[in-house]
Chain A
Amino acid sequence: MDTARPTAVALDDATVAFRLANARVYTAVEKARLAVAHGEFVAIVGPTGCGKSTLLNVAAGLLKPAAGAVRIFDQPLTGLNRDAGYLFQADALFPWKTAIDNVAIGLEIKGTPRAKALEQAQAWLTSVGLGAFANRYPHMLSGGQRKRVGLAQVLIRDPKILLMDEPFGPLDAQTRQVMGNLLLELWTADRKAVLFVTHDLEEAIALADRVVIMSAGPSSRIIGDWRVELPRPRDIFEVRLDKQFHELHREIWGVLKEEVMKGYAQSSQAAGAE
C-alpha cells in the first residue's frame, strides 16, 4: 500500500453488537480491521445480512462499536463523522424541498448565504445531469434522478470521505451502469476516499481499487481483500469485457459463493424456525 498517503478511515478490530428484545446480544460484525487510504476507492461485498451497512454506519459515527476503535485521519472518532458524506440506500432526500433546495441545504446549514448556495447547487445539479430539474420535488423525479440529486447533495459539501450504502441498489441494470460511470467521473475530479457497500461483485470490481469480502452473518468478519489493478479511467460498460476482470471475478467469486450459500441457508433456516 502507498504509505505516503494518510489513512482516511481505519477500523481497528471494530465489533458491533446489538441488544435484542429478549436480552440476548446479537453480534453483527466481529473484529473488523480495515484501512482506507486517502483517495482510495474501496468496495465492500458480502452476502445479504452480513453487516455491510452496519460497518458503514460505524464509519459514519451513526453507530458506536461495542469494542475496537474507529479512526478518521488518525483521530479517534467521537460522535458523528464530520468529514464524511453519506449516500443512503433508501430515499433520504427531504420530500418537502425541491431538488435545488435539497442540494443547497448542505451549504445553507454551514451558513453560506442562500443566493450563493443556490448558485452552487445549480452547478452541481448540472454536473449530475439534472440542470433542468431544479424546481422538481423528489416525488416528481425517477429513482435514478433522485439518486443523482442525493449524490449532488452529498458532494456539494465537499466531504473528504464518501460513504455509500448500496446507493444504486434499487435502480434497474442500465441506470446502475450510467450512475456508476457518473460516480467514477465525479470521483476522478478530486479523489476522495470512498467506502462503497454493494452485494454486486461485478459492480464492486468495475468501480473500486480494492474489493473487500465479508463472511455471512452473524459475527461476520472480513475474509478477503483484493486489489483491482484495472487501468483508469475506466468505463463500466467496457471494463467488464476485460480478461483481467474475468480472472479477478472468478477468483473472488470462488470465496464469495460459499458465503452467499451459507448466508442463504441461515436466512431460510431462520425463516423456517419462525
Chain B
Amino acid sequence: MSRAALLLCQVLVAVVALALWQVFTTVPLFGRILLPPFFFSNPIDVFDQIVKWFSTGVIWKHLAITLWESILAFVIGSSLGVLVGFWFARQPRVAAVFDPYVKMTNALPRVVLAPIFALWFGLGIWSKVALGVTLVFFIVFFNVYQGVKEVSSTVLDNGRMLGMSERQLMRHVYWPSALSWMFSSLHTSVGFAVVGAVVGEYLGAAAGLGYLIQQAEGVFDVAGVFAGMFVLSAFVILIDMAVTLVERRLLVWRPTVRAL
C-alpha cells in the first residue's frame, strides 16, 4: 500500500468512527437513540469543549503541570534505576540480599501507593512525581541490571587485553551497555511516567490533565471526560514522537535502528 493510500485509510477509520458516534447519539434509529447522550455525549460537543479549553487557554496550565510531573518522574526514576541497577549488577551479594524485596515491591499495584504519597507529599506535584518514580524506576532498574550482567564476555576480555583498568571497563564497556538497555526501554518508561502523573492527579490534585478529567466526571460532564481523554492521547503521542527522535540519535550504533 502506498503512503498516501495508507494515510487515507487511516483517516477514513477516524471519520467513520466519529460519524457513527455522532449518528448513534443524535439521530433516533428504530424509534430510539441507541447511545444515550447523557452517557456518551457526542463528537461535536467534545470538539467544542476542546476548542473552548484551547481558546480560553485554561488547558495550558494543566498540560504544563502534567508534563512537568512526567519529566520529573522520568528523570528521577531513571537516575535511581540506573544507579541501583548498576550497583546490584556489580555487587551480586547485595543483589541477592535485596532480591525478595525488589520482587515484592514490584509486585505491588502502584495505585495503592497514591493515598500514602498524597499524605506524605501533599496534593501538589510531588505526590504524583513519587508515583511516577515508582513505576519508572523498576523498568529502568531491571533493564540496566540485565544490561550490565549480559555484557559479552568476549568484548570484556577484549577490553582487558587492550589494557583497560576496572574503571575504564566501567566507562567504555559496562556503562554504554547499560545505557543502551535503558534507552531500549525508553518508550515504556516515558509512558509510565505519564501514567503515574495522570493517575496521581486523578486520585487527588488541584491541577493537571487527570484532575481535569476527574472534575468533569464529578459533575457528569461526559463531553469534558472525553475531551480530556483526547487531549491526553494527543499529549502522549507527541511525547512518544519526541522519544523516538531522541532514541534515533542515541542508538545509531544499533543494527535495529535505521538512522542514516
Contact = CB atoms under 8 A, between A and B. Distances in A.
Interface of A: 60, 62, 80, 82, 84-86, 88, 90-98, 105-106, 109-110, 137-139, 153-154, 157
Among A92, A93, A157, which residue has the most Cβ atoms of chain B within 10 A? Answer: A92
Given A82-B163, A106-B163, A157-B163, A88 B255 contact: no
Nearest to A153: B162
A80 B168 CA distance: 16
25 contacts: A62-B157, A62-B161, A80-B161, A84-B161, A86-B161, A88-B154, A88-B157, A88-B158, A90-B152, A92-B157, A92-B158, A93-B155, A94-B159, A95-B155, A96-B177, A97-B172, A97-B253, A109-B162, A109-B163, A109-B168, A110-B163, A138-B253, A139-B255, A153-B162, A157-B163
A94 B161 contact: no
A80 B253 contact: no
B154 A92 contact: yes
Given A60-B161, A96-B176, A105-B162, A139 B154 contact: no
A90 B156 CA distance: 12
Contacts of B160: 62, 80
A210 B165 CA distance: 35
Given A90-B152, A95-B155, A96-B180, 20 more contacts: A80-B161, A82-B163, A84-B161, A86-B157, A92-B152, A92-B155, A92-B158, A93-B155, A94-B155, A94-B158, A94-B176, A95-B253, A96-B176, A96-B253, A106-B162, A109-B162, A109-B163, A109-B164, A139-B253, A157-B162
B252 interface: yes
Assign chain B's interface to a size class. Answer: 20 to 34
A139 B252 CA distance: 10
Closest 4 CB pairs of A and B: A92-B158, A139-B255, A137-B253, A86-B161
Given A84-B161, A85-B161, A109-B163, A91 B154 contact: yes
A146 to B, nearest CB: 12
Nearest to A57: B157
Given A94-B172, A109-B164, A86 B252 contact: no
B80 interface: no
Among A105, A109, A138, which residue has the most Cβ atoms of chain B within 10 A? Answer: A109
A52 B172 CA distance: 29
B76 interface: no
Contacts of B152: 90, 92
A54 B164 CA distance: 22
B254 interface: yes
